[in-house]
A = this chain, B = another copy of it.
C-alpha cells in the first residue's frame, strides 16, 4: 500500500519549515480541497504552509475549512512548493516564480496530460481526484490522523471530480476512501448540497431560457435549444453558467441527439452536440468544421440561427436514418 515516490514526498514535506501549496487557476473543489487538507495537515509549530491563490474562493466552496491558510500575497521564499491538481505550469499564473524559486518543488496530480517539472512528481492517472492522492500521502506516508476538517476538504475534492461518484473515473478505491473520510463524522450532506445543488441567478435564468427555447424534431429524437447573445449579455454569463445546458435536451426521454447553440457574439454560434446511444456526433460536427467524440462534439458557425439549425437538423436526420 506504500509507494516509494509518495514516501519521498512525505519525507521532503516532513523536513520543510515553510511550504507553498499551489492549486491550478480557476480553482475547483478538487484543487482547493486537496490543497486545504494538505495545509491543515502541515501547519504546526515547526511548519507554516500557505495555500497560494490568485482569485477569491468560489462561493460554492465557501464552506471548506482551512481557509485561514490561504494567502493572496506569497512569502519571500519557501523551503518547498507543491503543485496541486495541475498539469501545466501556465495554470500557476503569477505564482510560477514562487514555484521555481522554492528550495524543492513537488507535484501531485492525476491528469494524464501532466507536464509540470518538479524535483519529485507523483502523477496517478487512475486516481479520480488529487484528493485521493493527498489522502494516501497523509494517512499512509505521513502518519497523519485525519481531522474532520481535513476529511471534509478531501471528501469535497473527491465529489467534485467524480460528479458525486457518478463519472466513470470513480473506482472501488474512491468509494473506500470516501467511506473512510465519512467515518470522521463530516457533514457530507451539506457538502453535496453546496457543491451540486446551489445555483446562481445567472445559471437559473439561462436554464429557463434554454428550456423555453427547446424544440423537438424527428418524432422527439432530436432536441434543439439555444441562448441568444442578449440572454448571455444580460446576465454577464460566465463559462460555467452555460456548461451542461446541452444536457437539458439530451436527458429528455426519447431524445437521441441534442443540439445546443450559444451565440457567443452577435451572429457567431458555438454549437454543442450530444448523443445518447447510437449517433456519432463527431462525424456531424466535422461536417461543420468542428470535432469531438462519438457522444460529445462541438463546432462554431457564423450566420443566421434558423439557417444553422436547418443545416444541423439535415445532417442529424441522415445519421438518425442511417444508424437507427
Contacts and interface: CB of A to CB of B under 8 A. Distances in A.
A208 B199 contact: no
A318 interface: no
A172 B184 CA distance: 10
A180 interface: yes
A171 B186 CA distance: 11
Given A176-B175, A176-B179, A204 B197 contact: no
Contacts of A45: none
A168 interface: yes
Contact of A251 (B173, B174, B188, B199): B199
Interface stretch (A1-9, A104-112, A159-167, A263-271): A159-167
Contact of A252 (B164, B167, B204, B212): B204
Contacts of A178: 165, 175
Contact of A189 (B167, B173, B248): B167
Q: DSSP majority for the A interface?
A: helix
Nearest to A276: B193
Interface string A102-129: 0000000000000000000000000000
Interface of A: 59, 164-168, 170-176, 178-180, 182-183, 188-189, 192-193, 196-201, 204, 207-208, 211-212, 214, 247-248, 251-253
6 A-B pairs with least C-beta separation: A175-B179, A172-B179, A208-B211, A166-B192, A197-B251, A168-B189
23 contacts: A165-B178, A168-B189, A173-B179, A174-B179, A175-B175, A175-B176, A176-B176, A176-B179, A197-B247, A197-B251, A198-B251, A198-B253, A199-B251, A199-B252, A199-B253, A200-B253, A201-B252, A204-B211, A204-B248, A204-B252, A208-B208, A208-B211, A212-B212
Given A166-B192, A168-B189, A211-B211, 12 more contacts: A164-B166, A167-B189, A174-B179, A175-B182, A176-B176, A198-B251, A198-B253, A199-B252, A200-B253, A204-B211, A207-B211, A208-B208
